[in-house]
Chains A and B, each alone.
Chain A
Amino acid sequence: MIRPLCWLLLLGAVLALGLDMLAPPAKRPVLAPDTMTEHQLLSQWRRQTGRQATEAERRALLADALEQNMLVEEALAQGLHRTDPVARHRLLQLAAFLDRDLDQANSEQQWQRALQLGLERSDPMVRQRLQQLLRLRVSSQPGEPTERELRALYQQRTKQLREPDRFSFEQRFFAGDDGYERALKGRSVGEPAGDPLLLGQQFSQVSGVQLRSRFGETFVAGLQQLSIDGAARQGWQGPVKSAYGWHLIRGLQRENGQVPSFESVRRRLQNEWESVSRQRQWRDYIETLWQRYWVVAAPDSAAAAAARSASDGPG
Chain B
Amino acid sequence: MKALSSKVVLAVLYAGIVSPLLAIAATSPPPCEHFSSLRQPFFGDTHVHTRYSLDASTQGTRTSPEQAYRFARGERIGIQPWTEEGEPLRSLQLARPLDFAVVTDHAELFGEVHLCNTPGSAAYSSWQCKVYRGWPRAAFFMFNTVASRGQRLGMCGEDGTVCREAGLSVWEEMQQAAEAAYDPGENCQFTSFIGYEWTGATENVANLHRNIIFRNTKVPRLPISFVDAPSAEQLWQRLEQECLLGIERCDVLVIPHNSNLSDGQMFLTHRDDGRPMTAEDARRRQQLERLVEVMQHKGSSECYFGPANAEDELCAFEQLPYDKFSGKFYGFLKQPPQPDDGFLRESLREGLRQQQKIGVNPFKLGFIASTDTHIGAPGAVSETSFLGHGGAGEPAGDEVPAGLPDDLEFNPGGLAVLWAEQNNRDSLFEAMRRREAYGTSGPRITLRFFGGWNYSAGLCESPDFAARGYAGGVPMGGDLPRPSSITAAPQFAVAALKDPDGRDLQRVQIIKGWIDGDGAGHETVYEVAGNPNNGASVDTTTCMERGQGFTNLCQVWRDPDFSPGKPAYYYARVVENPSCRWSQRICIANGVDCKDPSTIGEGLEACCSDEHRPVIQERAWSSPIWYTPAP
Contact = CB atoms under 8 A, between A and B. Distances in A.
A244 interface: yes
B438 interface: no
Contact of B395 (A48, A131, A160, A216): A48
Nearest to A107: B137
Interface in A28-80: 43-51, 57, 59-60, 63-64, 79-80
Contact of A209 (B75, B83, B97, B446): B97
Contacts, number: 196
A198 B552 contact: yes
Nearest to B119: A137
Interface string A195-220: 11111111111110110111111010
A152 interface: no
Interface stretch (B109-117, B239-247, B271-279, B337-345): B109-117
Given A85-B113, A137-B117, A163-B189, A242 B500 contact: yes
Interface string B26-57: 00000011111010100100000000001101
Interface stretch (B283-291, B455-463, B475-483): B455-463
Nearest to B129: A83
Contact of A48 (B75, B89, B460): B89
Interface residues of B, number: 86
A175 B108 contact: no
A198 B497 contact: yes
Nearest to A167: B34
Interface in A178-205: 193-205
Given A48-B81, A80-B117, A83-B132, A194 B463 contact: yes
A137 B118 contact: yes
Interface string B120-147: 0000000000001100110010000000
A262 to B, nearest CB: 14
Given A44-B392, A136-B114, A204 B189 contact: no
B466 A200 contact: yes
Interface stretch (B12-20, B175-183, B260-268, B612-620): B175-183
A143 B400 CA distance: 44
A281 to B, nearest CB: 13
A212 B96 contact: yes
A271 B176 contact: yes
Contacts of B220: none
A271 B89 contact: no
A122 interface: no
A205 B34 contact: yes
Interface in A108-147: 108, 124-125, 128-129, 131-133, 136-137, 140-141
A242 B552 CA distance: 13
A208 to B, nearest CB: 11
Contacts of A64: 82, 84
Nearest to B551: A244
Interface of A: 43-51, 57, 59-60, 63-64, 79-80, 82-86, 88, 107-108, 124-125, 128-129, 131-133, 136-137, 140-141, 160, 163-164, 166, 175, 193-207, 209-210, 212-217, 219, 242-245, 264, 267-268, 270-272, 274-275, 279, 283, 310
29 contacts: A43-B602, A46-B602, A47-B602, A48-B392, A57-B83, A82-B136, A128-B58, A132-B57, A136-B109, A136-B114, A163-B187, A164-B189, A175-B552, A195-B461, A196-B461, A198-B465, A200-B466, A205-B34, A205-B186, A209-B97, A210-B99, A213-B500, A243-B500, A244-B497, A245-B551, A267-B176, A267-B180, A275-B67, A279-B86
| Closest 6 A/B residue pairs (Cβ) | A243-B500, A205-B33, A216-B500, A60-B84, A128-B58, A268-B180
